[in-house]
Structure 1
Amino acid sequence: MANQVESMLISSLYDFLQRERFVTISTIDHVTGGPNVSAISWVYAPDQRRIVFAVDNRSRIIQNIKNIPLIVMNVVANDSTYSIYGEAVIKNEKVEDVPLKLALVEIKISEVRDVMFYGAKISIEPRYEKTYDAEAATRLDRQVMEAIKNN
């Protein structure tokens, strides 16, 4: 059913966010004051009230959060689309033991909305594939997800 509102992740969304996934992040642009949307994949829910993600520490996402910490994560899962609202906190500006310059960001969830339009469902969830060396991608993904889960 569309337009359901929760104060934390429902169980099926929590389960969905236990591994790398395609999601989008919306922040308020620190230069224009308008919306800024980015796609990310290194995301993990340590519990039903928080989501942690990793991005390049030079990302516009980081600058936007430093200026205004409000954030929305859009997730396509469970035949629907969800907007997860919250306040973002930069937990770590430089993750150790990862070859990239990544920052860890935690979202403290304030609201989860099922935003799928009435009378429809998602029939195929978004899929992506890494376009660089598959072995290197797998190794990097494992390192980043381990860092996210351990911080």
Structure 2
Amino acid sequence: MANRNEQYLLPDLFEALQREQFAILSTVDADTGAPFINAISWFFAADEKTIRLAVDSRSRIIENINKNSLVSIAVFAADSTYSISGSARIAAARLEGVPLKVSMIEVGIKEVRDVMFYGSKMAAVPVYEKTYDLQAAEKLDRQVMTALKKGVSS
């Protein structure tokens, strides 16, 4: 049986993407044309057709998207693994209300594919820990996620 393939986020996946979590972002490297992969946590589903994410404004991701807007995001949620593909754009060079230079990227979803191998489900999702000042990390996370949810731009 083929895995599910949609052009939008299904309700369970949309709900899972309303909070910070681990994901893998793949862009096309601006110089080599090879896949370029980054771990991200500042992202959320603005609606069932749009993902917003934040990255450091100096990140290679920005240059990659400016040259080639095609991206994929691997997400581990709703008992499965999903590949969310689409076209990205730099929606804000700098997020307001965030003390660091952080850019907002919007991804227009073209495809959501359940890529979990046959006959299985995710028993646990990847878990990560912040390794710097936890209070500062929590404050920064709140600032970034609030800005992403508002779609605030400079």
Where does residue 114 of structure 1 map in the other structure?
A: 114
Local SS of the residue matching 1:146? helix
Q: TM-score, normalised by structure 1?
A: 0.97
Q: Which amino acid aligns with 2:28?
A: I
Where does residue 34 of structure 2 map in the other structure?
A: 34
Where does residue 9 of structure 2 map in the other structure?
A: 9
| Counterparts of 2:7 and 2:52, CA distance in 1 | 17
Where does residue 48 of structure 2 map in the other structure?
A: 48
| Counterparts of 1:103 and 1:137, CA distance in 2 | 17
Q: TM-score, normalised by structure 2?
A: 0.95
Q: CA deviation at 1:94?
A: 1.1
Q: Which amino acid aligns with 1:143?
A: Q
Local SS of the residue matching 1:76? strand
C-alpha contact 1:2 1:116 (8 A) present in aligned 2: no
Q: CA deviation at 1:2?
A: 5.5
Percent of counterpart pairs with the same letter?
A: 53
Number of aligned positions between the proteins: 151
Q: Which amino acid aligns with 1:104?
A: M
Where does residue 130 of structure 1 map in the other structure?
A: 130
| Counterparts of 2:124 and 2:18, CA distance in 1 | 19
Q: Which amino acid aligns with 2:73?
A: M
Local SS of the residue matching 1:15? helix
Name stretches of at least 5 consecutive residues in structure 1 with no aligned partner. Answer: none
Name stretches of at least 5 consecutive residues in structure 2 with no aligned partner. Answer: none
Q: Which amino acid aligns with 1:12?
A: D
Q: CA deviation at 1:96?
A: 1.9
Q: CA deviation at 1:131?
A: 0.5
Q: Which amino acid aligns with 1:40?
A: I
Q: Which amino acid aligns with 1:77?
A: A
| Counterparts of 2:79 and 2:148, CA distance in 1 | 27
Local SS of the residue matching 1:103? strand
- Cα RMSD (Å) of the superposition? 1.0
| Counterparts of 2:7 and 2:94, CA distance in 1 | 30
| Counterparts of 2:149 and 2:121, CA distance in 1 | 31
Where does residue 70 of structure 1 map in the other structure?
A: 70
Where does residue 80 of structure 1 map in the other structure?
A: 80
- Residue 66 of structure 2 corresponds to residue 89 of structure 1: no
Q: Which amino acid aligns with 1:110?
A: K
| Counterparts of 1:62 and 1:15, CA distance in 2 | 27
Q: Which amino acid aligns with 1:37?
A: I
| Counterparts of 2:116 and 2:9, CA distance in 1 | 16
Q: Which amino acid aligns with 1:25?
A: L
